[in-house]
Amino acid sequence: MLYTVQTQIPSHAPVNDFSLLNSKIFCGDRLRDVHTLQNSIARYGLLSPIIAMKRAGRLIVVDGRKRLAAIRRLAFDGRLPRSLVKIPYLLVKDMGSIERRTPFLLSNSDLYNALVERFRAGETVSALTEHFQISRQCVRDVLTLSRLAPSLRLAFFNRMISFSQARAFAAIPVHANQLACFDRLGPFAEPADILAEMNNDEDMAPQKVAA
* Same domain? 60 vs 127: no
- Output the pLDDT for position 176: 93
Bridge partners (DSSP) of residue 52 are 61, 91
> For residue 142, how many other CB atoms are within 10 A of its CB?
23
CA 64/CA 50 separation, integer angstroms? 5
What is the end-to-end Cα distance of the chain in Å, rounded? 50
pTM for the full model? 0.48
- Output the pLDDT for position 211: 34
The CATH code of the domain that includes 140 is: 1.10.10.2830
- Output the pLDDT for position 147: 93
Domain extent for 47: 3-94
- Give domain status of residue 207, yes or no: no
- Give domain status of residue 209, yes or no: no
In the chain, how many domains are there? Answer: 2
pLDDT values of the chain reduced to their tens digit, one per residue, 211 residues? 444 455 557 788 988 888 876 555 445 566 778 888 888 888 878 877 888 888 777 888 888 888 888 898 888 888 888 888 899 888 876 533 333 334 443 567 777 888 888 899 999 988 888 776 567 887 888 898 999 999 999 888 877 788 888 889 999 989 999 999 999 988 888 888 998 987 776 555 544 433 3
- Output the pLDDT for position 8: 56
Of the residues 34, 68, 94, the one at which a domain ends: 94
- Output the pLDDT for position 171: 92
- Output the pLDDT for position 30: 66
* Same domain? 90 vs 159: no
- Are 132 and 98 within 8 A, CB to CB? no
Residue in 197, 199, 201 with CA at minimum distance from that of residue 182: 197
- Are 152 and 182 within 8 A, CB to CB? yes
3-state secondary structure of 167: helix
- Give domain status of residue 99, yes or no: no
Residue in 75, 91, 94 with CA at minimum distance from that of residue 83: 75
